[in-house]
Amino acid sequence: MARLRSRQILLLASGVGLVVLLSASSAFSQDTQGASQNIEAAAPPAVQLPTFPDPNASAAVLEQQGDELRAAKRYIDSLDFYNLALRKQPTALLWNKEGMSYLLLQKPDKAAKAFDHAIKIDKTAPEGYNNRGYIEQMKKKYDKAIKYYEKAIKLRPTDAVFYFNMGTCYFGKHNYPQAAKEYQTAFTLDPDIFVRVSRIGIMAQSTSPEDRAAFSFMVARMYAKAGDVDRSLEYLRKAMENGYRDINKVYTESEFASLRTDKRFEELMAQRPQAIQ
């Protein structure tokens, strides 16, 4: 029987349409931010990748080949290599990678089992908890997801990704004050995290324009407070384009004080971009 070929999965998003960042390991972060979608641009010229795993190959070689296949969006093929590698040397990292391939194939139940294996093998590694939290977030079971993210944060309290993901959960619950708190922590740890997320190119459309507007205004406030006028103005424009109703808060909130002295702010507010339907 002919083997099924992998499909290109472009979207991985939470219930409110915001990207959730997955992780396999801290040493593998360039692949895992946005579930390997950002690898393609930096990929070398086309190389003939294997289709079937060599049963005599080492677990390390099989893992590397699986990574290359996943980067090439050959997710089903990557699973063959990860499965054989796991039989030779089961590790939490390999289970996380297998789970991510299943997620990219839109098989969250199988992904959850893989992440559970990762947690069982290494309860001190935060990546499995982070990724497992994403599965619950996909189901809009935000409280369960938050518990997983809290465990990940406890194990690695300096990882901006975990706070970002938890903030997105609170955003899904419409608990904007708590979401802002988590996003602010993520932003403090990594001032470029919102930029990196936007560059991934897999941010889905939210079912609620109000959510997108509130998110954009929240980010604009953070950039304004940090003194990044350009990015603050960019997100203010997005907030208005998504119909943010309380845009006049920029005239009263202290975080926007320095922004209000910028001529470009005056021009933007005078233009009042129309909400995009």
Domain definitions of the chain by residue range: 9-157
The dihedral over CA atoms of 160, 161, 163, 169, expressed in degrees to the nearest 10, equals: 160
Residue 142: is its pLDDT beyond 50? yes
Average pLDDT over residues 242-260: 94
Residue 34: is its pLDDT beyond 50? no
Using pLDDT thresholds of 50, 70 and 90, give the confidence band for residue 158.
very high
Average pLDDT over residues 228-244: 94
pLDDT at residue 133, as a whole number: 95
Using pLDDT thresholds of 50, 70 and 90, give the confidence band for residue 48.
confident
- Closest by CA to 220, choosing from 175, 250, 192, is 250
Angle ∠(127,129,133) on CA atoms, nearest 5: 115
Q: Please, what's the b/e burial string for 165-185 (b: 16 or more CB within 10 A of its CB; e: otherwise)?
A: bbbbbbbbbeebeebbebbbb
Average pLDDT, the chain: 82
Using pLDDT thresholds of 50, 70 and 90, give the confidence band for residue 248.
very high
CB–CB of 259/233 below 8 Å?
Answer: yes
Picking from 73-87, 130-144, 192-206, which range would have the lowest pLDDT averaged per residue?
192-206
CB–CB of 64/79 below 8 Å?
Answer: no
pLDDT at residue 230, as a whole number: 95
pTM of the model: 0.79
| Structural fold of domain 9-157 | 1.25.40
Q: What is the Cα–Cα distance from 145 to 96, expressed in whole angstroms?
A: 17
Average pLDDT over residues 134-142: 92
CB–CB of 198/8 below 8 Å?
Answer: no
The percent of residues above 90 in pLDDT, for the chain, comes to: 68
